Amino acid sequence: MYNKLMGCLKSVREKTDFVPEAAVVLGSGLGEFANEIEIVDTISYSDIEGFPVSTVKGHAGRFVFGYVEKTPVVIMQGRVHYYEGYPMQDVVLPTRLMGMMGAKKILLTNAAGGANESFKPGDLMIISDHITTAVPSPLIGPNIEELGTRFPDMSETYSKRLQTVIEVCAKELGIEMQKGVYVQFTGPNYETPAEIRLAQTWGGDAVGMSTAVEAMAARHMGMEIAGISCITNMAAGISKVQLNHKEVQETADKAAGDFKKLVAKVIVNM
């Protein structure tokens, strides 16, 4: 795996020598943000040898390199999901690659279902912690010693400092935030009402199919992590309506204005 990562890094370095300070992963329906920064370079995932390429509509699938004010960032416009059929180690390859490009901090974003009944669609949630019990760890397999230790600590996966940065930025923008625990399921099916009750008993506030494993891989290699969920729908069984991807995208679109302002401000201040 480390050789594969080094191969991908070489492929990136043949195209750009840009060194990001921060990495950003844009979730479903939130990818528009990358088009608004001062772009220096882009690389399609399909041009990186060995890179897992996403198949989901609405996931553009490229790295965007550039500046948000003075901060050099690499943005993943489109991510790779476990439900597409990749081994979990491939799912977190892009996260690790951004760390290897030089990013010391990472802002992870996603569209998620609200399991906390006080949430409403369109809310933005600061991720305070996560639960990955329902998905395999991306760290299973031989440890990549070059990146981190065999048994990494996860007691502060989402940096308290960065949670405060998000809070302060949101306040200055007049955006109300929720805060809570993200529970990852495999997808691609949405959860059953019974699974949502399980997530609630576990202490979960939002459910999704992506972010927690990326956070685990980023933490393993010592990156400082921030996470924001866009609550695009109430999770199964909470609202009476059936779930569909269109609703998820429409709500993400509606929240995109606030979301983009917040992400830009967080990047500058993280």
* 65 vs 119, beta carbon nearer ligand HPA: 119
Taking CB under 6 A as the rule, does residue 209 contact ligand HPA?
yes
Token pair for 22: 């921060």
By CB under 6 A, residue 112 contacts ligand HPA: yes
Instruction: Provide the CA 129 distance to its chain's centre, in angstroms.
Output: 13
Annotated catalytic residue, options 1, 44, 60, 83: 83
E strands, 132-192, where?
177-184
Contact 268, 173 (CB under 8 A): no
Among 45, 232, 255, 265, binds ligand HPA (CB under 6 A): 232
Question: Annotated catalytic, 244?
Answer: no
Q: Which residue is nearest to ligand HPA (CB)?
A: 113
* Of 97, 190, 195, 212, the one binding ligand HPA by CB under 6 A: 190
Catalytic residue at 233? yes
Task: Please confirm, yes or no, whether 210 is among the known catalytic residues.
Answer: yes
Do 23 and 77 form a contact (C-beta atoms < 8 A)? no
24, 195, 233, 259: which one binds ligand HPA (CB under 6 A): 233
Question: Which of the stretches 5-13, 36-44, 109-117, 130-138 binds ligand HPA when contact is defined by CB under 6 A?
Answer: 109-117
In the complex, what is the shortest distance from the CB of residue 154 to ligand HPA, in angstroms, rounded to a whole number?
A: 22
- Closest to 177 in 3D by CA, of 249, 108, 231: 231
Catalytic residue among 23, 34, 54, 81: 81
Instruction: Give the span between the Cα atoms of 99 and 63, in whole angstroms.
Output: 13
Can you list the positions of beta strands (E) in 19-81?
A: 22-26, 38-44, 62-68, 71-77
Between residues 236 and 270, which has the closer beta carbon with respect to ligand HPA? 236
- Told to check if 248 binds ligand HPA by CB under 6 A, we report yes
CB of 184 to ligand HPA, least distance (A): 9
Among 12, 34, 64, 243, binds ligand HPA (CB under 6 A): 243
Distance CA 67, CA 154 (A): 30
When asked if residue 111 is in the footprint of ligand HPA (CB under 6 A), the reply is yes
**CA distance to 46, 63, 102, per residue, from 11 (Å):** 11, 13, 15
Complex with ligand HPA: residue 25 or 147, whichever CB lies closer:
25
Q: Decide if 127 contacts 228 (C-beta within 8 A).
A: yes
**8 contacts 46 by C-beta, under 8 angstroms:** no
182 belongs to the catalytic site: no
Q: Which residue has the tokens 């309506």?
A: 241
Tell which residue, 154, 117, 157, has the closest CA to residue 238.
117
Residues in contact with ligand HPA by the rule CB under 6 A:
111-113, 190-191, 207-209, 232-233, 235, 243, 248
Catalytic residues: 28, 59, 81, 83-84, 111, 209-210, 233, 245
